[in-house]
Structure 1
Amino acid sequence: MLSLHKITSPIVAPSFGTFRSTEVVRQHHVGYVSPREDPKYYLRCAADLMREYRRLVEQGENLTLIVNTCGWIKGMGRELLQELVSVCEPTDAVGLGEVDGVFAEILPDGKKVKRHLLEAAGSGAVVGNTGGSQLFTPADLRTLQTIAYFHQQPTSGEEDEYTPSFDFEKHLTAVPPLIAAYKGSAKVIHGVTILDTDITPDLVFTALNATVVAVKLVRKDDSEHPATQYLEDVYGENSDVTPYIPANQFDGTSGMLPAEGTVTAGLAVVRGVDEANGELQLLMPMHEDEINGWLESGYRIILCRGRDEMPVYLMWDWRDGRAGQKGRRGTGSCGGVDKMPYLDFVVGGEVTGKGAKEWKVRRNIMRRGQQRRQ
């Protein structure tokens, strides 16, 4: 996610513990853990968030904007920083570590941007740091943040939505899913897309099942939106077909859902697919009243699968004796973790589990000795 937040109270915890400290104003699902996969879309999202920030300032809100960049300062990362500086027009730039040379390249001359170098910040305390070694990697923190996000309790709108509550006693697999139709007269899901992937429509739900997807909203009356145009041109009033939108139809991997005119409501886990009845089972920290509110307000819902990481512990309850340590040795009643679809585990330094290995396809048609020499 690339997000614009209002900080409502001091942030004194790592990312997975700051849900009570910020209020989401607007957010965009980039779909990757790094901007390198789609830098063009990353910058479009950043520009859209800046427009929203400036709109709030024009309305009279007294705000100070802090832009937290990704810390990638070489090659394409440096070019992205230059573009972000152009979009955000900062008054001050704070560097963590030895980045004085980077400042000279990314900060425009004549703008009088104040430079601040915090030399000690690069070696300061980190979460769980008791002796100089980092106990939590960035991937660990992302995993914890994702788990915390999906264990939020949905609110019906009467409670304070910016003071979330959490339930970590009940595993996600024990939470009743929301049933959302993707075809028929009661259709709730109006489109699905998979970033950076070109597959046939009959494999769409195989690719979506047991993945994290973004819940995106597009207004029905936004006739200029490319996703609206595609759905109407290809599907029209036909509600009995899979609403698949190939990602390669538009500019870039995410261009078919431009930042402008697209609202990202949050994330969901596709727990299961009922193709016979045309329904998806979704796990999300959103109340059904909120979803119905979007539909009543004239929005279409489009699910977008990126490369979001699915933490194993969201879909595997380690406290369940059937899949515990006995299962790891293949003696449990479930027959071991190798029988669990979609999940992989690191056992003895080796990745195991059903589907853990990549399917490698040989693309050469002939042996090298059989090829005609030019």
Structure 2
Amino acid sequence: MIASSGPVSAVAALAARRARQQQAISEDAPKAAPAPVVESEPPSKKPRRSLDAVETAETGGDRRSSRTRATKKQDKQLPVEDSPKHATRSTQSSRESQKEEESSQDASDAEQVATDTIENNEEMDENEVASVVGDADGYESPAETPAELQNFPLSKVRLNKSNIVYSDESTLCIRIKERTNLALLGQYDLWVKRGVVSLMGAKLHASSQLHRVYAPSTHSLPVIKCVSGTDGEAEVEIKSCNSGLSHLQDLSPLYQRIWTGENTTADKATLKSAPKDSKRSFSVLYTSADDSLNRHLRPLHLDKKWSASMKGLSQRQGQLRVLVCGPKASGKSTFSRYLLNHVLSPTPETEGGYVNTDGVAFLDLDPGQPEFTPMGQVYLARLRNPFFGPPFTHPSLDDSHGGEIVRAHHIGAASPKEDPDHYALAVMDLMEQYRTLLEKYPQCPLIINYPGWIFGQGLEVATWLVRSLGLSDVVYMSEKGPSEVIEPLGLAAREARVPLTVLPSQPTDFVSRSSAQLRAMQIQSYFHMSHPTDLGSSLWSEEPLSRTRPLTVDYNGPRQGILGVMVMGSQINPDLLHETLEGAIVGLVAVESPRALMGGMAPPDAPNEEQDGDGSGLDIDMDSENPNATNIESFMAENVVRTQEDLPYLFVGSGSCTPLDPRMSHCLGLALVRSIDTSSHKLELSTSIPPSYIQRSIEKGHSLVLVRGQLDNPNWAISEEYHAARAAERRYQESTSGQKKAGGSGGSDGSESSKHTRTLALLRERVRRASNVPWMTVVEDNSRHQREVAARREKSLWKLRKKAYPGSESEADY
């Protein structure tokens, strides 16, 4: 390290002694007290440096000697207990910053850290992920993670002969004692054989039911905890599964490095009798240091106040009507998810004999980060089984898989502030649907997840909901207020005679994916997901959307299937509708009545004799004699504007579309407009909406409308073919290299070599063609100059940058 003067060394020794004293008493420190600097964790999102800052740091870094760099690298390789200098220096700089000697020392250290960061980004191992300078939503870089932050306890149990019942290459059966837990990473099916365990808020009792669990590194890991059992032990079986979700890593770097890495110490201990090179779809981790990919892994432990509140709310049983609200990133979605699982899994011996047979209604009012649908929708769902995994593992629901969407509305934006009036109408309709649901399921509780739009007009909507929805409870997820939110919310709760519970926020400490990236993962998962009727779980396809069969729809002619196109949030000239629609994500909305248009000002329902009423065609039998369908077609035919391509454009006045009335329309799902064939008047759509949903809507006489909102551009779909081609080339090279290591091929070396060359040339040609597409630029290296050029290019519209240098697993933001 850089040589220090005498006074500075004395101060460093004093700071080190104070640090050791603080570390010894850290366990007894009150919660309100700030954590010692040595034990503190970095912020949830690392500070990102501008290009100017990088250039300054690099200029200063050039003054470092080669000896200093070598010493720095040696320090990084030391274990935690052998290298306390970094922690000492942090304490020193924070407590003795007024001294000139320390100020100069801190400046040198900051210069070293900045230069090391640049070196790490430019000298990257192929298994690491870098973030481009200037990226708004870049990945975390394990190379920049201090070693002392990696060793974080995850499990309170160690696997040995006494608690391992049996194990093989795909299954692990263990006993877990009370008050101990086990953290796993990956995908698995959980079977509780004896006792009771808790998982993500749910209490799972011994039964024959299997529970599918998804535990990626993008979120805090779910923990299996023993609640009770025979002789103080619970017995669970954990089995590998293959849903196809992990195969999406071949289509997007966002899905890479989120599942299991190499076998951990616990895995090796349970695979001794299994065949060599056995690998399960899950891994048992004792600490975060067990992870071979050096990721930020943390268990998800609930705050005690959260647990107490969930127990109190669940005691209301079928009378529960709770609204969960609070500022952004306060843990609303996590609390709602855990509360949902907790209510869906009551103890069989509950006092009074109450057993939840009607399910739980989940009203999700957050269009930016919905739980069971892709972004841009608000919906009412009825759930019968708990769900274990982040939203991108269940982006849609099917009637036969533990839950169903009762009704959904397409908002077309990530925030309700784009059109608060339409949002309020949608909420009112969903609440009316819940009241109708109660007629069939009278003991169905309700959980409402409100977005982080809690200030200004959002607060007005929230207080209106408290006064008008007939709630039993309101939960606010922040003890820090602010007072201008808490006071009006509390006043509304008192007027409605509803108790208001204020809980501490519990934000995520570390994030490896930004909100925009998580939305992209969820919507990509949505388009690749399917619900086989003969299976109890969902499956995902690894085929790029460009290689799947599209849904062909007529937008003009006698078999017109799409009766209109709407554009929300902006005024679009009809001449620009073709460019606006092609390649966009749209909502497929079923119009139940012509009154859904023009804010309910449409003429009353009456049959129109001039309309032939042929129905329309979505490659499905759409013959319908429903007079309501004929009336809708007649009305829309009179109010539609045909563009140059004969696209049916529904707009009013200067081009601003009036949203459809939620009381007489609902959203079936999302679709991607792949192409518009103007010669045959056909649209090619990619969608995961089950054909039975569309057929059912047609049989009821509904008309279908495409709604183009303000959703994120589907850049992930543009680059799928490129990433799939790269993955195919990589797999082929790995397979051929493995065959060469295994042994030669006899006298056919010449023919095999020629075949290998031809195959590799074809794969590389596929990569070349896939990289030459609009709106995507492939950057072949990761030099500082290329990063700066790409950062400047980022400002251009519709420009997508991909890093394709060897070993890269990172994706730039859109």
- Place the TM-score, normalised by the shorter chain, in its bin: 0.7 to 0.9
C-alpha separation between the residues in 2 aligned to 1:297 and 1:243?
Answer: 22
1:136 Cα deviation after fit = 2.8
1:147 Cα deviation after fit = 1.1
Aligned residues of 1:345 and 1:353 also touching (Cα < 8 A): no
- Decide whether aligned partners of structure 1 residues 266 and 247 sit closer, same or farther in structure 2, where only a CA change above 3 A counts: farther
Match of 2:380, SS state, is strand
List aligned pairs for 1:47-58, cutoff 5 A.
47-58=428-439
- Decide whether aligned partners of structure 1 residues 76 and 261 sit closer, same or farther in structure 2, where only a CA change above 3 A counts: same
1:164 Cα deviation after fit = 5.8
C-alpha separation between the residues in 2 aligned to 1:324 and 1:42?
Answer: 47
1:287 Cα deviation after fit = 3.9
For 2:421, which of 40, 58, 61 is the aligned residue? 40
2:506 aligned partner: 122
Q: Which residue identity is paired with 2:597?
A: P
1:166 Cα deviation after fit = 2.6
C-alpha separation between the residues in 1 aligned to 2:728 and 2:573?
Answer: 34
Aligned residues of 1:271 and 1:282 also touching (Cα < 8 A): yes
For 1:262, which of 665, 676, 680 is the aligned residue? 665
List aligned pairs for 1:217-296, cutoff 5 A.
217-219=590-592, 222-226=593-597, 228=632, 231-235=636-640, 241-246=646-651, 255-296=658-699
Match of 1:99, SS state, is coil
Aligned residues of 1:208 and 1:270 also touching (Cα < 8 A): yes
2:386 aligned partner: 10
Structure label with greater radius of gyration: 2
Match of 1:67, SS state, is strand
C-alpha separation between the residues in 1 aligned to 2:540 and 2:770?
Answer: 29
Aligned residues of 1:340 and 1:353 also touching (Cα < 8 A): no
Aligned residues of 2:544 and 2:724 also touching (Cα < 8 A): no
Match of 1:50, SS state, is helix
Matched, 1:138 2:509: no
C-alpha separation between the residues in 2 aligned to 1:55 and 1:174?
Answer: 42
Match of 2:448, SS state, is coil
List aligned pairs for 1:198-209, cutoff 5 A.
198-209=571-582
List aligned pairs for 1:50-89, cutoff 5 A.
50-89=431-470
Greater displacement, 92-101 / 178-187: 92-101
Aligned residues of 2:583 and 2:672 also touching (Cα < 8 A): yes
Match of 2:595, SS state, is coil
1:192 aligned partner: 565
Aligned residues of 2:530 and 2:540 also touching (Cα < 8 A): yes
For residues 305-344 of structure 1, give each alpha carbon's deviation from its aligned partner in whole angstroms, at most 9, with x where no partner exists.
Answer: 101123422232212249999xxxxxx63495xx522457
Matched, 1:167 2:540: yes
Matched, 1:152 2:529: yes
- Decide whether aligned partners of structure 1 residues 100 and 352 sit closer, same or farther in structure 2, where only a CA change above 3 A counts: closer
Q: Which residue identity is paired with 1:2?
A: V
C-alpha separation between the residues in 1 aligned to 2:584 and 2:527?
Answer: 13
- Decide whether aligned partners of structure 1 residues 343 and 264 sit closer, same or farther in structure 2, where only a CA change above 3 A counts: farther
1:299 Cα deviation after fit = 1.3
1:100 Cα deviation after fit = 7.2
C-alpha separation between the residues in 2 aligned to 1:217 and 1:277?
Answer: 24
For 1:333, which of 750, 768, 773 is the aligned residue? 768
Aligned residues of 2:595 and 2:661 also touching (Cα < 8 A): no
Unaligned runs of 5+ in 2: 1-376, 599-631, 731-766, 780-785, 800-814
1:213 aligned partner: 586
User: Which gives a bigger RCO, structure 1 or 2 (Cα 8 Å, sep 6+)?
Assistant: 1
Q: Which residue identity is paired with 1:280?
A: L
1:53 Cα deviation after fit = 0.3
C-alpha separation between the residues in 2 aligned to 1:184 and 1:190?
Answer: 10
C-alpha separation between the residues in 1 aligned to 2:697 and 2:472?
Answer: 38
Q: Which residue identity is paired with 2:699?
A: E
Question: Once the two structures are aligned, what percentage of the paired residues are identical?
Answer: 26
For 1:31, which of 412, 422, 433 is the aligned residue? 412
Aligned residues of 2:467 and 2:495 also touching (Cα < 8 A): no
- Decide whether aligned partners of structure 1 residues 144 and 118 sit closer, same or farther in structure 2, where only a CA change above 3 A counts: same
TM-score under structure 2 length normalisation? 0.38
Match of 1:303, SS state, is strand
Aligned residues of 2:392 and 2:525 also touching (Cα < 8 A): yes
C-alpha separation between the residues in 2 aligned to 1:289 and 1:57?
Answer: 25
Match of 1:244, SS state, is strand
Greater displacement, 45-54 / 340-349: 340-349
1:364 aligned partner: none
For 2:496, which of 105, 111, 114 is the aligned residue? 111
- Decide whether aligned partners of structure 1 residues 289 and 154 sit closer, same or farther in structure 2, where only a CA change above 3 A counts: same
C-alpha separation between the residues in 1 aligned to 2:673 and 2:518?
Answer: 22
1:302 aligned partner: 705
1:94 Cα deviation after fit = 1.1
Aligned residues of 1:182 and 1:188 also touching (Cα < 8 A): yes
For residues 123-155 of structure 1, give each alpha carbon's deviation from its aligned partner in whole angstroms, at most 9, with x where no partner exists.
Answer: 4xx4xxxxx222233222222211111112266
Aligned residues of 2:566 and 2:657 also touching (Cα < 8 A): no
1:361 aligned partner: none
Q: Which residue identity is paired with 1:356?
A: W
- Decide whether aligned partners of structure 1 residues 25 and 117 sit closer, same or farther in structure 2, where only a CA change above 3 A counts: same
Matched, 1:99 2:481: yes
C-alpha separation between the residues in 2 aligned to 1:247 and 1:165?
Answer: 42
The number of residue pairs the alignment matches comes to: 333
Q: Which residue identity is paired with 1:314?
A: A
Aligned residues of 1:208 and 1:305 also touching (Cα < 8 A): yes
